[in-house]
Amino acid sequence: MSEEYRNNPSIANFVEYLRIPSVQPNVNYEECLNFLKRQSDELGLLFKVYELVPQKPIAVLTWLGQEPSLPAILLNSHMDVVPVFENSWTYPPFSGHIDEDGKIFARGSQDMKCVGIQYLEAVRKLKSSGIKLKRTMHLSFVPDEEIGGHDGMKKFVLTDSFRALNIGFALDEGMANPGEEFVVFNGERSIWQIHVICTGQPGHGSLLLPNTAGEKLRYIINKFMDLREEQKKILESSPKFTIGDVTTINLTQVFGGIQSNVVPEKLTAVFDCRLAVTVNHEEFENMVKQWCKEAGEGVTYDFEQKNPCVEVTKTDESNPYWMAFKSLADELKLKLDIRIFPGGTDSRYVRRVGIPAIGFSPMNHTPVLLHDHNEFLRADIFLRGIDIYVKLIPAVANV
């Protein structure tokens, strides 16, 4: 079985891309660009590289539509992958090893080199069968998504070059699902990373001084952790809820103090909060402000990261691209499960500039292994994904 897969040109292309170690940190994207330029030439697409930050290229491959004045479709994927702990892998993580069951092992096999190649292979099939699209189709391959996309998509969407692409609708990564459903994501929670700084009376560790940083820190931690407990209960209250439906709160860092017998003048707690799309940002911040006031004087907060509120992409009749996506899924008998993405992807930047975006990786019956050891994707699932895009691309491009 694995022999038949090894000789498949689409899989050979996938494996070649997986073997490029575009691993964070300090990625060299040169090899990815060479690979994509070759693909673009083979497919007869226009190829352009934008470099907003040195050594952080954004490659855009363009298939011109018959009505180029119409808003275009963006198929986005990122070139970078997360680090690996090689000792924990059964096969070398950049080998693209295919085992007897047809599982393709490599870092990036699920997140998300698979999708980038599925776009390309679907375009190859469509072009070789003489299909023409009404709208222009742009395939973007961006850097640094795995470290927040700050030098990639976040900057790119604000440029005149991006505006000139005239995007009307975007597809980006989703996630594998062990069940029958294909999970699609129409929004993301807002990431707020909050540092709460508690100052107080310093002194000797043998005394019971008033107004200490430690007492204030305890108050703050209790407030955040009580909220965490409430959200946990909501999540557990119904099987309908997924992690993306609630606000998550985690205490991720605590620091301060100078030595064990000195009461410090300052202690800091850091909370990673992911605000559910239903949360009013102003009210949430006012609540944190109130907690700081109640904790005592000299308690302040600042943000390491504070995502703005971004409207979720509509999944109703008001969004013609979604209606095309949905009716195609019905036609192919694909069961869809619409969710809010639990982490962060480049879609948030696309939505931020008012473009509807759907996160979709066609991987059902697949364990979720993104960022995990022994990340793999089954060859048959990968190939079926190409067939899905062969139908999906014209559906959205001919809206």
Residue 153: C-alpha distances to residues 58, 91, 170, 311, 389 (Å): 8, 32, 13, 18, 23
Do residues 122 and 61 lie in contact, with contact meaning Cβ atoms separated by under 8 Å? no
Q: How many C-beta atoms lie closer than 10 Å to residue 97's C-beta?
A: 18
Specify the pTM: 0.93
What's the CA dihedral at 250, 256, 260, 264 to 10 degrees? -120
* pLDDT confidence bin for 343, thresholds 50/70/90: confident
Tokens standing for residue 6 = 């090894």
Instruction: Give yes or no: 145 in active site.
Output: yes
Instruction: Give yes or no: 283 in active site.
Output: no
Model pLDDT, residue 141: 99
Residue 213 has pLDDT above 90, yes or no: yes
Q: Which member of 121, 145, 173, 188 is catalytic?
A: 145
Phi, psi of 8 (to 5 degrees): -80, 125
Do residues 93 and 84 lie in contact, with contact meaning Cβ atoms separated by under 8 Å? yes
Q: Which CATH code of 3.40.50.300, 3.40.630.10, 3.60.15.10, 3.40.109.10 fits the domain covering 2-188+311-397?
A: 3.40.630.10
Residue 259 has pLDDT above 90, yes or no: yes
Do residues 345 and 145 lie in contact, with contact meaning Cβ atoms separated by under 8 Å? yes
Residue 49 has pLDDT above 80, yes or no: yes
Give percent of the chain with pLDDT exceeding 90. 97
* pLDDT confidence bin for 330, thresholds 50/70/90: very high
Residue 84 has pLDDT above 70, yes or no: yes
Do residues 338 and 350 lie in contact, with contact meaning Cβ atoms separated by under 8 Å? no
Residue 35 has pLDDT above 70, yes or no: yes
- What would the mean pLDDT of 172-196 be, rounded to a whole number? 97
Model pLDDT, residue 307: 93
Annotate 252-298 with three-state secondary structure: EEEEECCCCCEECCEEEEEEEEEECCCCCHHHHHHHHHHHHHHHCCC
Tokens standing for residue 157 = 């969407």
- What would the mean pLDDT of 166-180 be, rounded to a whole number? 98
Residue 324 has pLDDT above 90, yes or no: yes
- What is the pLDDT of the chain when averaged over all its residues? 97
Domain boundaries, the chain: 2-188+311-397, 190-306
- What would the mean pLDDT of 347-361 be, rounded to a whole number? 98
Residue 1 has pLDDT above 70, yes or no: no
Beta strands at 376-378 and 190-199: parallel, antiparallel or unpaired? unpaired
Model pLDDT, residue 6: 83
Q: Which CATH class is domain 190-306?
A: alpha beta
Q: Which of 184, 97, 144 is nearest to 364 (CA)?
A: 184
